[in-house]
């Protein structure tokens, strides 16, 4: 067992609920006590389970035998997924009143940027639950079973989806244009045209993502938020954000949000998850 630390406060109930709502069958298991999922890293495959010890401010991580050779790389991904290196006091100082009600909110990341890109595309114009179901179908069709862990599969490799038939993907319940966007994404990853690590200029990186077929501004922003775990991203075109900022244009919303730099990603989460919040 491995131990990772975090600075309190940390709202684990919210984090696990967030991940549970988006859990992909065959990849993830989320309960009120732990998060478990399959992972493939540098040719090594297995499961990890992360269990928070709230009293000690520690995350207990167990790795199956298949992941032991890449233990440190796995732990780094767990840290990113759960945003364990966040300094909540620094964020709170920037957010002020906005963050006061839920000081333990963290930015959910991802274990693999490629996977998060797929999820972002499949989440376009559908509910959170439907996005999880669509992703589960893609995993069931294209993901390789994890032999040592019955019931689990590995998330499909980009090389597999790059060769997928768009009509076969459409048959899983998505528009053919979305299926084609997944294939384009997979090919961009294979050719090194899709940045899997955060670029130095995140804004420029998001604009570059929008040159990919099927990736608009919202999808690029959401991917940056979770796939790169960028700390200073805001989504003025998001449906719920536009409701919270009723009567304001996206440009006005963007200017209003500048007060929360360089932690606008956390501000976004607080606005999403604070019922009835309105700008001053």
Q: How many degrees, rounded to 5, is the angle at CA 247 between CA 245 and CA 249?
A: 80
Q: Which residue in 33, 201, 237, 238 is the catalytic one?
A: 238
The domain defined by 113-226 folds into Endonuclease III; domain 1 (1.10.340)
1 pLDDT band, cuts 50/70/90, is: very high
* Of 240, 236, 244, 239, residue with least CA distance to 279: 244
Pairing of strands 35-41, 28-30: antiparallel
Where exactly are the structural domains of the chain?
Answer: 2-100, 113-226, 231-280
Q: Report how far residue 132's alpha carbon sits from residue 122's, in angstroms, rounded to the nearest whole number.
A: 8
The secondary structure of residue 108, as a DSSP letter, is -
pTM above threshold 0.85: yes
The secondary structure of residue 196, as a DSSP letter, is S
pLDDT digits (tens, 9 = 90+) for 179-225: 999 999 999 999 999 988 999 999 999 999 999 888 999 999 999 99
Q: What per-residue confidence (pLDDT) applies to 100? A: 92
Beta carbons of 17 and 105 less than 8 angstroms apart = no
Q: What per-residue confidence (pLDDT) applies to 102? A: 92
Query: What mean pLDDT value characterizes the chain?
Result: 95
Written as six digits, the tokens of 156 are 């499909």
280 pLDDT band, cuts 50/70/90, is: confident
Q: What per-residue confidence (pLDDT) applies to 275? A: 86
CA dihedral 49, 76, 66, 57 (to 10 degrees): -30
Q: What per-residue confidence (pLDDT) applies to 15? A: 98
Which residues are 204's β-sheet partners? none
Task: Decide if 2-100 and 113-226 have a common fold.
Answer: no
Please state which of the four CATH numbers 3.30.310.20, 3.60.70.12, 3.30.565.10, 3.40.50.1220 is assigned to the domain occupying 2-100.
3.30.310.20
Which residues are 196's β-sheet partners? none
pLDDT digits (tens, 9 = 90+) for 119-144: 999 999 899 999 999 999 999 999 99
Assess if CATH 1.10.1670.10 describes domain 231-280: yes
Residue 83 appears among annotated catalytic residues? no
pLDDT digits (tens, 9 = 90+) for 248-259: 999 999 999 999
pLDDT digits (tens, 9 = 90+) for 79-120: 999 999 999 999 999 999 999 999 999 999 999 999 999 999
């Amino acid at each position: 067992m491995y131990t990772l630390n975090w600075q309190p406060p940390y709202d684990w109930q919210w984090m696990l609920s967030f991940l549970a709502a988006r859990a992909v069958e065959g990849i993830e298991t989320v309960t009120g006590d732990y998060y478990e999922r399959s992972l493939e890293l540098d040719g090594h495959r297995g499961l990890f389970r992360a269990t928070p010890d709230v009293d000690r401010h520690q995350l207990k991580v167990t790795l199956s035998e298949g992941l032991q050779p890449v233990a440190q790389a796995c732990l780094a991904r767990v840290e990113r997924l759960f945003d364990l290196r966040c300094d909540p006091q620094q964020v709170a100082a920037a957010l002020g009143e906005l963050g006061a009600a839920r000081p333990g909110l963290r930015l959910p990341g991802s274990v693999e940027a490629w996977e998060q890109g797929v999820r972002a595309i499949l989440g376009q114009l559908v509910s959170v639950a439907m996005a999880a179901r669509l992703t589960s179908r893609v995993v069931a069709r294209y993901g390789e079973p994890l032999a040592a862990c019955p019931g689990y599969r590995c998330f499909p490799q980009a090389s597999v989806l790059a060769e997928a038939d768009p009509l076969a993907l459409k048959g899983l319940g998505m528009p053919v244009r979305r299926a084609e966007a997944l294939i384009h994404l997979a090919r961009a990853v294979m050719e090194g045209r899709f940045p899997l690590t955060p670029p130095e200029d995140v804004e420029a990186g998001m604009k570059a993502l929008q040159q990919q077929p099927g990736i608009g501004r919202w999808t690029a922003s959401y991917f940056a938020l979770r796939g790169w775990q960028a700390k200073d991203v805001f989504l003025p075109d998001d449906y719920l954000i536009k409701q919270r900022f009723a009567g304001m244009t996206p440009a006005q919303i963007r200017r209003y949000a500048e007060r929360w730099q360089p932690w606008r990603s956390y501000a976004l989460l607080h606005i999403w998850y604070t019922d009835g919040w309105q700008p001053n």
